Amino acid sequence: MDEDNMNRKERRAARKAGHLDSAAFLKVADKFIDLANRENARVKATDLHNAFLYAAARYNAFVANTVLEVENHEEFVQTMVKQYAEMLRQNLADPNLAAKPE
């Protein structure tokens, strides 16, 4: 059942079971963004974004190998690349992330 067709009780049960609805997904993502913002006080953003990209790749490889037991690594890589590209495009188009005029 997709989250749009779930009532509040079903969404809570899904969250308790470890599944993320849209709101919970964004809340978890915001925790990573908050960490990046804190680290950015000491680490250049250009270095930090590469560290986060590496960490995401490392964690996704772990999940692919140990949780999903992916057999076709290249197919998984292509799926992840497509997902990342779409997320990046959406965020690049977000006017809230545009550079502020000085």
The pTM score is 0.75
How many alpha carbons lie under 13 Å from residue 10 in its C-beta half-sphere? 7
Report the domain count for the chain. Answer: 2
Give me the domain span that covers residue 3. 1-42
Do 65 and 27 sit in the same domain of this protein?
A: no
Which of the four pLDDT bands, split at 50, 70 and 90, describes residue 4? low
Q: Is residue 49 part of a domain?
A: no
Which of the four pLDDT bands, split at 50, 70 and 90, describes residue 11? low
Q: Is residue 51 part of a domain?
A: no
User: What pLDDT is attached to residue 23?
Assistant: 86
Over residues 74-102, the pLDDT tens digits come to: 999 999 999 999 999 999 999 998 876 66
Do 36 and 66 sit in the same domain of this protein?
A: no
Do 63 and 38 sit in the same domain of this protein?
A: no
Give percent of the chain with pLDDT exceeding 90.
70
**Torsion sign, CA atoms 35, 37, 38, 44:** positive
